Structure 1
């Protein structure tokens, strides 16, 4: 997504872009989602902010975005927004009427227009989605290589159970060798894969295909999110990612002079992580009962002591925006550190686990061979 302006504006837009290979790796896959995902929103708000800051009005900014799209769908999307603006709708009404945008974006833009801070709001929304996409990439980078190793190792184990173990089984059966318990267990696993392997594969493929359908079900999302939280280290990492998003959103809203209760209500609608949504519902109820924000946070385990202590300081000193900005920075640093450590730890752990599986298979096959050699001898 690009546009033609003066040299200073072009440098400001291009300064955040990387080489073509990096952009390709960071492209958001939208086969099963909206075409206007988080990566597109990052570009949209960043470039709208730059254009408005350069003195171009909102209609002109949308025209520039529309004219510089390579894809017809995006060009039509921005064109329809421009037409709605010309017809008399405000920018926040345009955002509200399109399903691609969230209520969080709608209220943020509405506040920006009402207070005359639309430039700042669009810049902050661009930063919000930049950081959100960066956190997503950190998670993907941390998991991609270990997942590749795990998948390859599982294929090796399945190959051994499906092809190698049956060969040994035939030898043992022909020579009527008494099999130890571990060998019988491995042979049973081999027979299961031989008889029901295709069924298991079809079930896994069906789950992958129906994932989008299941993800719309509240019960599925709740069970999945709470299960993820229980996974050692990974659960803490995921929680930190969402707390980072939460603190950044609250910082943006409080900077726009939004009351804390309204901020909590808006952020709750924006975040898709069920445990945090339910915790924010409890926080909202606590504030309505007259409790302070730090007291409301304290009643929910998902918020750590660091956040509760600093929020208490923020309420006493009336520095809510500053404190949430600092919290956001700390959580971002923590996310980066944990993503690197997660990648470092998972690789050797997977290798050890797979090595144990392969070792068990080999030992189970070689134990009867010793008995067979004594029989033949």
Structure 2
């Protein structure tokens, strides 16, 4: 936001100008830090209330964070000071909400707060891993390398997410059309069929009775089903946001057949990438493991990281542990870990493509059975009436 201000200097001189800040309070704080006593402060070109976007409807997208990280890494490599880089990115960012958050970051940094501590104030935008990596870069004096690694990490995740979204577009279209057909049949066709069959009399097939009964229940109690479904989803999401809920949900997903293999590869890839980034950034292996929360005590006692990982064969497969051992013995652990990342990224991509190639025909079969069953329930009594 830009604010027009009028203020008095310590010498009593009147100053007029424009200042950019994330909020009115932040603008007042910035002006007071320059020794100015503000007499007038107004938002420049303030929009009417009906034109202002609702904050709770806006959120920072993953793409915005990815671009922010990449551009910040480039500016750092160009020897641009952090404060100036943040202000530059705040002006260039298209997202108004994210621009204000970046401006607030610059204000915190200017006020003496470390960059990692400033990031920590935005947990919905910057993950705990992101903050930990920046903190490690600050400690080791390699913030530029860490930001570059973070940008590459976010770009890989963004690319994988886009592949999944693109591949799911057609299956989602099929599901939408199938559900629309079922909805129209349930709302319009089945009630008319029920009235027609009631007028004609006669014994109805079991499948027809079951469909008519189900439709009657749905038409009478639809609000209760919506309430239970919405309430259940809301409570589940609230529980997953807690530390215990997230842990239990992840453990549950890791036990789902088919999905567990995909998730295990994804977690192994992230673990290797995180560890490689820290080691390549000059962080000692003990400090790196402390940041990742893994096996710190064992490594401190002199054990090799490959030996420690080997104690958990269910979490770390032998091929993963063996590759880490080779990296330790050759003194190229960071390079070896990055090779592991590339290996699991390829495996992830292949797994996603294989899964989606199976998902599409499977959805067609399931929807075909549902629509076919409903059509059988409709046509079977009509066929019996015609045969009489």
Q: TM-score, normalised by structure 1?
A: 0.75
Correspondence for 1:360 among 373, 377, 384? 373
SS in structure 1 opposite 2:254? helix
Q: Does 1:171 align with 2:196?
A: yes
Correspondence for 1:106 among 113, 123, 131? 131
Report deviation, 1:64: 1.6
Q: Does 1:306 align with 2:331?
A: no
Q: Does 1:55 align with 2:75?
A: no
- Cα separation, 1, equivalents of 2:61 and 2:384: 62
- Cα separation, 2, equivalents of 1:198 and 1:225: 31
**Which stretches in structure 1 are left out of the alignment for 5+ residues?**
1-29, 269-279
Structure-2 change in CA distance of 1:121 and 1:348 (3 Å): same
Report deviation, 1:246: 2.0
Q: Which has the larger share of helix?
A: 1
Tell me, yes or no, if the aligned pair for 1:32 and 1:212 is still in contact at 8 Å.
Answer: no
Q: Does 1:333 align with 2:346?
A: yes
Correspondence for 1:148 among 169, 173, 185? 173
SS in structure 2 opposite 1:177? coil
Superposed, 1:7-156 pairs within 5 Å as: 35-96=59-120, 98-99=122-123, 100-156=125-181
Tell me, yes or no, if the aligned pair for 2:60 and 2:97 is still in contact at 8 Å.
Answer: no
Q: What CA deviation, in whole Å up to 9, does each residue of 1:75-99 have, x standing for no partner?
A: 4433333333333444344334554
The answer to which of 137-146 and 54-63 deviates more is 137-146
Q: What CA deviation, in whole Å up to 9, does each residue of 1:99-141 have, x standing for no partner?
A: 4434433343333334332221111111111122222323333
Structure-2 change in CA distance of 1:160 and 1:83 (3 Å): closer
Structure-2 change in CA distance of 1:146 and 1:297 (3 Å): farther
Q: Does 1:263 align with 2:275?
A: no
Higher Cα Rg, which structure: 2
Q: Does 1:199 align with 2:234?
A: no
The answer to which of 222-231 and 358-367 deviates more is 222-231
SS in structure 2 opposite 1:63? helix
Structure-2 change in CA distance of 1:47 and 1:175 (3 Å): same
The aligned length equals: 333
Correspondence for 1:215 among 226, 240, 246? 240
Structure-2 change in CA distance of 1:174 and 1:326 (3 Å): same
Structure-2 change in CA distance of 1:347 and 1:200 (3 Å): same
Report deviation, 1:329: 0.5
- Which residue number in structure 2 is paired with residue 3 of structure 1? none
Q: Which has the larger share of strand?
A: 2
Instruction: Supply the RMSD in Å over aligned alpha carbons.
Output: 3.2
The answer to which of 344-353 and 356-365 deviates more is 356-365
Q: Does 1:241 align with 2:254?
A: no
Tell me, yes or no, if the aligned pair for 1:59 and 1:82 is still in contact at 8 Å.
Answer: yes
The answer to which of 120-129 and 289-298 deviates more is 289-298
Tell me, yes or no, if the aligned pair for 1:142 and 1:342 is still in contact at 8 Å.
Answer: no
Report deviation, 1:200: 1.9
SS in structure 1 opposite 2:156? helix
Q: Does 1:297 align with 2:313?
A: no
Tell me, yes or no, if the aligned pair for 1:103 and 1:266 is still in contact at 8 Å.
Answer: no
Tell me, yes or no, if the aligned pair for 2:72 and 2:147 is still in contact at 8 Å.
Answer: yes
Report deviation, 1:300: 5.1
**Which stretches in structure 2 are left out of the alignment for 5+ residues?**
1-53
Structure-2 change in CA distance of 1:333 and 1:373 (3 Å): same
Report deviation, 1:56: 1.8
Report deviation, 1:249: 0.9
- Which residue number in structure 2 is paired with residue 323 of structure 1? 336
